[in-house]
Structure 1
Amino acid sequence: MRLTVHLDTFDRVHPMAFAILWLDKDTRQWSREGHFGLELPEWGALHMDCGNTLVCAPHSAVPVCVLEGLDLNEAEGPFEGEVGRVQWCAVRGSNLTTGHWRVQCVDTERKEPENGVFAAGDEA
Structure 2
Amino acid sequence: MRITIKLDGFDHAAALAYAVLWLDKERGRWSREAHDGFELPPWGTWRSAPDGTLLLDPDTLQAVLMLHGLRLNAPAGIAGATGTDDPSACAPSESQKGRANYFGCGADGESRAPDAGHWHVQCIDRESTVAEHEVFSDEPDAVSGQSAHAHDAGSLAM
Asked if Structure 1 and Structure 2 have the same fold, meaning a TM-score greater than 0.5 normalized by the shorter chain, the answer is: yes
Q: Cα gap change, 1:48/1:61 in structure 2, threshold over 3 Å: closer, same or farther? A: farther
Whether 2:80 is the aligned partner of 1:80: answer: no
How far the C-alpha of 1:120 sits from its partner, in A, is 2.7
Structure 1 counterpart of 2:70: 70
Whether 2:115 is the aligned partner of 1:97: answer: yes
The 5-angstrom pairing of residues 42-53 of structure 1 reads 42-53=42-53
Runs in 1 of length 4+ with deviation above 4 angstroms? none
Q: Cα gap change, 1:60/1:93 in structure 2, threshold over 3 Å: closer, same or farther? A: closer
Give distance in 1, aligned partners of 2:27 and 2:59.
14
Question: 2:134 is matched with which residue: 96, 116, 119?
Answer: 116
Provide Cα deviations, 1:77-107, integer angstroms capped at 9, x if missing partner: 1010000000011164432111000000000
Give distance in 1, aligned partners of 2:111 and 2:57.
17
Equivalent pair of 1:87/1:98 in contact (CA under 8 Å)? yes
Give distance in 2, aligned partners of 1:79 and 1:115.
27
Deviates more, 1:14-23 or 1:50-59: 50-59
Give distance in 2, aligned partners of 1:68 and 1:57.
18
How far the C-alpha of 1:51 sits from its partner, in A, is 4.1
Q: Cα gap change, 1:120/1:111 in structure 2, threshold over 3 Å: closer, same or farther? A: closer
- Ranked by relative contact order (alpha carbons within 8 Å, sequence separation 6 or more), the top structure is 1
Equivalent pair of 2:17/2:36 in contact (CA under 8 Å)? yes
Structure 1 counterpart of 2:55: 55
Pick the structure with more strand per residue.
Answer: 1
Q: How many matched pairs?
A: 123
Give distance in 2, aligned partners of 1:57 and 1:40.
8
Whether 2:11 is the aligned partner of 1:38: answer: no
Give distance in 2, aligned partners of 1:112 and 1:120.
11
Give the aligned residue type for 2:45.
Answer: A
Unaligned runs of 5+ in 2: 77-90, 141-146, 150-158
Calculate percent identity across the aligned residue pairs.
Answer: 39
Give distance in 2, aligned partners of 1:72 and 1:51.
11
* Aligned-residue RMSD, C-alpha: 1.7
**Which has the larger Rg?**
2
Whether 2:41 is the aligned partner of 1:23: answer: no
| TM-score computed with the length of structure 2 as normaliser | 0.72
